[in-house]
Structure 1
Amino acid sequence: MQVSSRLLLVWGVVKLFPQLATSTGYSSMLIAWSITEVVRYSFFTCALNGYQPAVLSWLRYNLFYVLYPLGISSECWMIWKAVGPAKQWNVAYAWLLQAILLVYIPGSYILFTHMMSQRRKVMKGKGKQT
Structure 2
Amino acid sequence: MATQAYLLLYNTAQALGWSAALATTVRSIVVNGGSLAAVYGDSGWFVRTFQVASVLEVFHAGLKLTRTPMSAALMQWAGRTHVLIAVTHAIPHLQTTAAAGILILAWALTEVIRYPSYALSQSCPGWLNWLRYTIFIPLYPIGAASEMKLMYDGIPTMTAKKMYSISMPNAYNFAFDYTSFVKVVLILYPFLFYQLYAYMFVQRKKKLGPSTRKKED
Please confirm whether the aligned pair reaches a TM-score higher than 0.5, indicating the same fold. Answer: yes
Identity %: 29
Query: What is the Cα deviation at residue 32 of structure 1?
Result: 1.2
Distance 1:7 1:52 in 2: 28
Q: Which amino acid aligns with 2:188?
A: V
Runs ≥4 in structure 1, deviation > 4 angstroms? Answer: none
Structure with greater Cα Rg: 2
Asked if 2 retains the 8 angstrom alpha-carbon contact of 1:9 and 1:78, the reply is: yes
Query: What is the Cα deviation at residue 42 of structure 1?
Result: 0.8
* 2:33 alignment partner in structure 1: none
Structure 2 length normalisation: TM-score? 0.56
Distance 2:198 2:119 in 1: 27
Match of 1:31, SS state, is helix
Aligned pairs, how many? Answer: 128
Q: Which amino acid aligns with 2:115?
A: Y
Structure number with higher helix proportion: 1
Structure 1 length normalisation: TM-score? 0.90
Match of 1:62, SS state, is coil
Distance 2:106 2:124 in 1: 23
Asked if 1 retains the 8 angstrom alpha-carbon contact of 2:114 and 2:132, the reply is: yes
Asked if 1 retains the 8 angstrom alpha-carbon contact of 2:133 and 2:203, the reply is: no
Q: Which amino acid aligns with 2:160?
A: Q
RMSD of aligned Cα (Å): 1.5
Asked if 2 retains the 8 angstrom alpha-carbon contact of 1:76 and 1:105, the reply is: no
- Choose the corresponding residue for 1:3, options 69, 77, 96: 77
Pairwise mapping of residues 83-102 of structure 1 onto structure 2 (< 5 A)?
83-90=155-162, 92-102=177-187
* Gap regions ≥5 residues in structure 2: 1-74, 166-176
For the pair 1:110 / 2:212, whether they are aligned, the reply is: no
